[in-house]
Homo-oligomer: A and B are copies of this chain.
């Protein structure tokens, strides 16, 4: 828990350095992201924040996510379905999402190092692999039921 407090203090300093301010809504968003740990859609953040402080408005969550993204405190990843998920900047890692069940898994970051090198050499393209989730089918969905009814098909 002190861990979160430390983070809050760090972010507060970081914001001040940028001429911005810490506030109750922003604290709530950071707490929500830290508590949930995983990758949350904007809507999920709104919900999680609501539990912490019901007076925080939806719009403030969006504005806070934007502000914290600018400050590089949170990262966002684009999923295959067109939605965006947010998470606190932690160690580098990639994301892979199942198009059947919607699950997002973390992947070791060096997996695409060779691809990055090749892309740069052949196309002059500097890959930022963390920004979008790889798309495909996860273990469970591939093996078992040909069509898993649980979630978002695309």
Q: Which residues of B contact A81 (CB under 8 A)?
A: 78
Residue A51 CB within 8 A of the other chain = no
Q: Could you say which of B82, B122, B137 contacts A126, with CB atoms under 8 Å apart?
A: B137
Q: Which residues of B contact A84 (CB under 8 A)?
A: 82
B139 touches A123 (CB 8 A): yes
Q: Which residues of B contact A134 (CB under 8 A)?
A: 119, 125, 127, 129, 132
Residue A3 CB within 8 A of the other chain = no
Q: Which residues of B contact A133 (CB under 8 A)?
A: 132
Residue A105 CB within 8 A of the other chain = yes
Which residue of chain B has its CB nearest to the CB of A131?
Answer: B135
Q: Which residues of B contact A9 (CB under 8 A)?
A: none
